[in-house]
Amino acid sequence: MSATTLQMLLDELGYDEKTVGTALNQEFVRAKDRAETRLREGDAVEIVTPRQGG
Amino acid sequence: MTDPVTLYDVALSSRLLLGTARYPSPAILAESIRASGCEIVTVSLRREAGGARAGEAFWSLIRDVGARVLPNTAGCRTAKEAIATAQMAREVFATDWIKLEVIGEEDTLQPDVFGLVDAARALSDDGFKVFPYTTDDLVVAEKLLDAGCRVLMPWAAPIGSGRGVNDAFALRALRAHFPETPLIVDAGLGAPSHAALVMEMGYDAVLLNTAVSRAGDPVLMARAFALAIEAGRAGFRAQPMTPRDMAEPSTPLIGRPFDRLA
């Protein structure tokens, strides 16, 4: 991974940004903040998409 | 709309909320939703490998069905996880409704009611309309209402167990204690008769998933539950008779043939 921001990571991994939610270290990151959200060694990134649920 | 149920200022004619998980196929899911007549379906957020399109395909199917979505925080074990999941769900699904689950125990999937109340307060303060999955505990219910919830969703039995109502007394007490709050039985029902029972108790609605999705014929079961919920609701409104310990003849005794005056 060469991404330095959350947005770059999403692009690198091939996500459609309209249908994903993101969190960094268990804190929600809004779609509009992804480009400014810098990633550091050891960060826990969550990328989620709609799924079946009860 | 006759006899609607109002959840956070939204009036609904169907009193069935349906989960979307564990159906044999997407087509059967869509057909079950239609057969149930439900207007709200629950959905979730999960990790997916980049480039995969399962989430997008599912979301497209749900939008085509046209039901309102109620995202959940299923699987969250802390208030912090649940809050972040709810915030992601609000953005992805474009709704401020959230079915709040904070799980405290793995065998029963019993809610961690302490984390639940904390998360409910934080999310309500942040503008969410919270549907808390809770136990039948009166004190917890009170605290959830204090935290800003305007709907409560007590369990009947553990999630996915299909046991039906584990503690009818507790559910009746909850209903009696909160006559004005919309109460939705969420989790543990297995058969349409279970749903009819809680509706006869005066519950406002029922949330189902496994009972429909794991039935031999989910579409038919969705319809069966819809009918049971409608019947139970009508039974409640019609005010059932009071049970008696002794028999009482239903046919008048006056004029009975072969009757001999003493």
Closest approach of chain A CAs to the CA of B203, in angstroms?
Answer: 19
Segment A10-23 mean pLDDT: 86
Phi and psi at residue B69, to the nearest 5° = -100, 145
Which token pair is B180?
A: 């004005």
B146: closest CA among B113, B117, B183, B184? B117
Closest approach of chain B CAs to the CA of A51, in angstroms?
Answer: 5
B169-200: buried (b, 16+ CB within 10 Å) or exposed (e) per residue?
A: ebbbebbeeeeebbbbbbbbbbbbebbbbbbb
Q: Is A54 in Cβ contact with B209 (below 8 Å)?
A: yes
pLDDT, residue B148, reads 98
Cα angle B238, B240, B244; round to 5: 160
pLDDT, residue B49, reads 77
Whether residue B253 has pLDDT greater than 90: no
Question: Which amino acid, B47?
Answer: R
The tally of CA atoms less than 13 A away on the side-chain side of residue B83 is: 20
Q: Is A49 in Cβ contact with B55 (below 8 Å)?
A: yes
Segment B124-150 mean pLDDT: 98
Whether residue A1 has pLDDT greater than 80: no
Q: Is A52 in Cβ contact with B23 (below 8 Å)?
A: yes
Please report residues of B whose CB lies closer than 8 A to that of A14: 50-51
Whether residue B258 has pLDDT greater than 90: no
The pLDDT > 70 percentage for chain A reads 94
Residue B159's pLDDT band (cuts 50, 70, 90): very high
pLDDT, residue B260, reads 74
Whether residue B261 has pLDDT greater than 80: no
pLDDT, residue B54, reads 81
Q: Closest residue of B to A28, CA-based?
A: B84
Segment B109-133 mean pLDDT: 97
Segment B46-72 mean pLDDT: 88
B79-93 helix and B113-125 helix, angle to the nearest 10 degrees: 40
Segment B124-147 mean pLDDT: 98
Whether residue B27 has pLDDT greater than 90: yes
Global confidence as pTM: 0.93
The pLDDT > 90 percentage for chain B reads 88
Q: Is A48 in Cβ contact with B92 (below 8 Å)?
A: yes
Residue B262's pLDDT band (cuts 50, 70, 90): low
Please report residues of A whose CB lies closer than 8 A to that of B74: 53-54
Query: What are the C-alpha distances in Å from B206 to residues A26, A41, B5, B178, B233?
Result: 32, 46, 11, 17, 11
pLDDT, residue B56, reads 84
Residue B205 is inside which H or E element, if any?
Answer: strand B205-208
Distance from CA of residue B98 to its chain's centroid?
Answer: 13
A47: closest CA among B46, B92, B78, B42? B46
B80 catalytic residue (yes or no): no
ipTM entry: 0.95
- Write the pLDDT tens digit of every residue in B73-114: 999 999 999 999 999 999 999 999 999 999 999 999 999 999
The pLDDT > 70 percentage for chain B reads 99
Whether residue A17 has pLDDT greater than 80: no
Give me chain A's average pLDDT, please. Answer: 92
Whether residue B214 has pLDDT greater than 90: yes
Closest approach of chain B CAs to the CA of A19, in angstroms?
Answer: 6
Sequence-separated (6 or more) residues with CB below 8 Å from residue B66: none
Which residue stretches of B10-152 are H helix? 26-36, 54-65, 79-93, 113-125, 138-146
Give me chain B's average pLDDT, please. Answer: 95
